[in-house]
A and B are shown apart, each in its own frame.
Chain A
């Protein structure tokens, strides 16, 4: 202590010592700051770790859905089975159900084994059981599309049964099927022989990305394609309705509406709506769109309308925020040179606010894309294996699922092969969400102006 460090008027001790050496209190404050930074870094590290665990789990479990086991066989399309009359009359050919095609496949197996010189103990039925149940349907579709090919021998690439596929991917082993009734160890031996002879191979599975849902007996044939189209149509509806309505509402509220209790009430309620759980919109959709307006159930149009309700508040709030961020000087200048209020808004304010509006819209859409709860109530969650729609109207009207609903549906099913597909579906959904969010970020970076 030196002379200068005497008590001051208010009785507090002044800072003692040199500025170069830290007092106890400063050291404590600095330590607190250090600690806080460490907490922050730890929080981020935990977050990142969770993200890494999440993404790596999804990828490691889901990547299997993108490869699939196929069996290549030459099938003789016997006229005696498929077209007894020999007239190639499509109506008569259609009479033969998929059950009538099963013998052709058994036949194809015995021909193949003879050609390779393999003896097998298995019955023809057990041999054919390594194929997916979708194989006869695949044959039938082909024959109906090409009736002139009856009588010829055509090479087909059939899906292997889900259990066989699991065996090729290491999910199914001889131990795990000990009590399994749908496949036995001899059939796996048979698969091994066919793998050596290049009859069975595992390749990339485009059908998972483009195909439709399949029933519980054929997980190997299930795909995301049709539900992806369902999601696409819903997003079209949301975009076409929520964007114009949302933007018009926010422009009016922000630029034209008088400030009174009524607009205050509306404003508060828009914020409230943004916080309403999405299932509520589902119940509303069921009551209004299906029961009152008699729109079809399970249709992407109804799904889109429900999600529009859900997305509107998000779009209105973000649009109003970006309109607010345009400085008043722009409006004043426009009005000053004689523009009408509407000209000032549409020629000057709106273009400047557009990047913010688009970002908000895209984020709202991404949120709607991942939504399942409201779809439960309007019949879009279930076994919906319709074909890909052929027109805008059928895309909107014919029953369809959506990506998250399809994932939920698969996760519920008994066969473990569906579990893999659920994870595979999550990968597709994530790719969509990340793409949309990236576009939003890029738009903001590119076009946003700061004042």
Chain B
């Protein structure tokens, strides 16, 4: 029994001493699974080039990450939240309620959202209208709003093959979903005139019309994927008719299994996204708790290293992996080194 006693007491001592001296010495990051690969590339290079320990990067989605970020200030909360969308006012308010007031917003670059299907299947040349007609809950037929009757892609657009519509879109906890709704579904909604009809039906309420526009059909044609892109890929591999929504970087790593569709006639690539020709792209962010700078060693250095030219610049490893580098990177760098918090205050 003495061994057990010994190890139990050693453990108790270790636990107590850690609680007393619980200085966390590594940066803790969580959030968007789209930003995760970039953050892990930076974290790895950071660990190699600095004397600080390698930051820990968890995923779980933008909303989940920001929720944890807003839980409060202290060593048991995360220092950095990755997000594939801008922080919402609601989330800023939730943060403030828990004492997280000074937040530094850092835009790291842009990422494209691509539509891809099985490599051996049909190729597509989409427009936002096609996606709206394929997935929306209600569409305009002969001037009247009806439940979406479209079964195959040929119903949507006569130029397409008669392949059953089966779409795998990111679940609502992903930031990607919001971009998909805004830049594709809503754009299609407006282009088909359904937006005006919905606005009229909702008593000229623009917000309600937008909400009605982006509500997707629930008859199994559109499937929400709450997991990662690997899950979407697995679904497409098992159902060759499926078309999935992916990040550009994920597609570029799996070009042997997927073929990418054009959007409004533009092939997605880092170049076409950088020039703004490819319409479906979004900025990627991370948010830093200013209160943790100086408390958690290496936090500011990590943020600065992330946006340094050699990392996030056009020739850096992030661009190589699929990030479209930000043309205004120099301003971001200055903002990070000044620790400029959100809301304009310096």
Contacts and interface: CB of A to CB of B under 8 A. Distances in A.
Contact of B54 (A216, A239, A386, A414): A386
Contacts, number: 155
Contacts of A279: none
A interface, how many residues as a size bin?
A: 35 or more
Contacts of A97: 49, 310
A176 B258 CA distance: 10
Interface stretch (A103-111, A193-201, A377-385): A377-385
B163 interface: no
Contacts of B40: 215-216, 383, 385
Nearest to A384: B56
Contact of B43 (A99, A180, A383, A398): A383
Given A140-B48, A382-B57, A291 B255 contact: no
Given A98-B45, A414-B230, A236 B14 contact: no
Interface stretch (A27-35, A112-120, A203-211, A292-300): A292-300
A397 B11 CA distance: 11
A168 interface: no
B277 interface: no
B196 interface: no
A435 to B, nearest CB: 21
A145 interface: no
A392 interface: yes
B8 interface: yes
B14 A396 contact: yes
Nearest to B54: A385
A296 B75 contact: yes
Contact of B317 (A133, A141, A176): A133
Contact of B320 (A217, A241, A393): A217
B321 A216 contact: yes
A381 B256 CA distance: 28
A216 B322 CA distance: 11
A15 interface: no
Nearest to A304: B11
Given A97-B310, A296-B18, A383 B39 contact: yes
Contact of B11 (A141, A216, A240, A415): A240
A151 to B, nearest CB: 22
Contacts of B14: 301, 392-393, 396-397
B209 interface: no
A124 interface: no
A128 to B, nearest CB: 13
A115 B89 CA distance: 63
Interface centre among A179, A237, A386 (most CB of B within 10 A): A179
Given A217-B321, A381-B58, 14 more contacts: A178-B255, A216-B37, A218-B44, A240-B8, A243-B4, A296-B75, A296-B76, A386-B56, A387-B53, A387-B54, A396-B11, A412-B59, A412-B228, A414-B230
Interface of A: 94, 97-99, 133, 137, 140-141, 172, 175-182, 214-218, 236-237, 239-241, 243-244, 290-291, 293-298, 301, 379, 381-387, 392-393, 396-399, 411-416
Interface of B: 1, 4-5, 7-8, 10-11, 14-15, 17-19, 22, 24, 26, 28, 30, 33, 36-37, 39-41, 43-45, 47-49, 51, 53-54, 56-59, 74-76, 227-230, 249-250, 252-256, 259, 310, 317, 320-321
12 contacts: A140-B48, A178-B255, A179-B255, A240-B7, A291-B76, A301-B18, A381-B58, A383-B39, A383-B57, A396-B11, A398-B26, A413-B230
